[in-house]
A and B are shown apart, each in its own frame.
Chain A
Amino acid sequence: MNPVDPERLRVRELGATQLLRGAEIEGRTQPAHLEGEELERHVEERVMTTTLDKAVAWARSNSFFPATFGLACCAIEMITIVASRVDIARFGYEAFRASPRQADLIILSGRVSIKMAPIVRRIYDQMLEPKWAISMGACCSSMGVFNNYALVPADKFMPIDVHVPGCPPRPEALMHGVLKLRKMVQDDPDSSWRERYGAVGTEEALPGA
């Protein structure tokens, strides 16, 4: 078999590009080399430049791994966003991980009692950085109808990125919240609020790790 001549292959590629642009091809052998403005345009069409931070934020924001963690009735709506009607797999978040070590998003789906709060905080601390939290529903954001001795709003013991209101929020609302979080992660990977709430450097590391 004849090996493909690289020089000839390049000529064919450039010819095809010109054909796509709608340029007239005369003789079909012409543009062996692009120069000047042609070259600029050629590069513009093929190469995308960005910063590493932005590329990383883009990748992170499109692959959240939520923790499998339900607290109360809101969890039923949380389950629904993975199902077929509002299929959150469209955005890349369908893999709910059963271990906080593999998750980077926790959705607090329900009321948090003051007895449960240390456990929730521990799960949050066990998650690996970078990590995000969504407070879903009225109870977990402002204690909702249970404004009494038993409950505590989530902001009191851990940082929350997005609050989704509702009682419970519809699955569409939760999905909207997740997409808001995506936008947040893409636009501002530096989350200064983490320092305010003491959420930096609190990850639980295994001994010796």
Chain B
Amino acid sequence: MPDATGLELIGQELGSAVLDTVFFRERATLVIEPDSVRDVLAHLRGEGYAFMASLHGVDYYPEEPRLGVVYELLDMARVDRISVKLRVHSQAPEVDSAMPDRPGDRGWPTAVHQEREVYDMFGVVFRGHPDLRRILMPEDYEGYPQRRDFPLGGEPVTFTYNDPKRPPATA
């Protein structure tokens, strides 16, 4: 981890893209402006954080902006980690994809499946993603099941007593 001072330095270099820096329990986190995500990630790659260990979604319901995307970056040489968080409004949950978007751009190819998963579970749309389809749920599934206002229960189970098609029991 960068220590608290190191995190502040990184934050200052990024300027207005960074909304907040959080250093909590030895974990360094940058809270950033959603539109600047590609620039921030590219800058952090330059700092040595060249491995995207994870990309995942969060739902901060009922707060707004509600949907979060978290990028976990890892510096393999120094064994150093930094998290990048952003939040988008649930009315327009759009954020730029971290995938390489032009020839010669390194990007983060690992994001291809993880962005699809965040889209599948939280409904965050990644602009510029080459193949943004559902990845786990069926393609005709409606709704985003990991959102916190999604109904918790699943299919009601038919037992003998509540099977409508079953002829009534004769005593």
Contacts and interface: CB of A to CB of B under 8 A. Distances in A.
Interface string B144-169: 01000011111101110000011000
Contacts of B137: 114-115, 149-150
Contact of B154 (A115, A143, A155, A196): A143
A172 B165 CA distance: 32
A155 B150 contact: no
Interface of B: 136-138, 141, 143, 145, 150-155, 157-159, 165-166
Given A115-B137, A115-B138, A150 B154 contact: yes
DSSP majority for the A interface? loop
B158 A148 contact: no
Contact of B165 (A115, A147, A153, A196): A196
A152 B155 contact: yes
A142 B155 CA distance: 9
- The number of chain A residues touching the other chain, given as a range, is 10 to 19
Contacts of A196: 165-166
A151 B153 CA distance: 10
Nearest to B153: A147
20 contacts: A114-B137, A114-B138, A115-B137, A115-B138, A141-B157, A142-B157, A143-B155, A143-B157, A148-B153, A149-B145, A149-B151, A149-B154, A151-B154, A151-B155, A153-B155, A155-B158, A156-B155, A156-B158, A196-B165, A196-B166
A179 to B, nearest CB: 21
A150 B155 contact: no
Contacts of B143: 149
A114 B159 CA distance: 19
Contact of A153 (B141, B150, B152, B157): B157
Contacts of B157: 141-143, 153, 155
A153 B138 contact: no
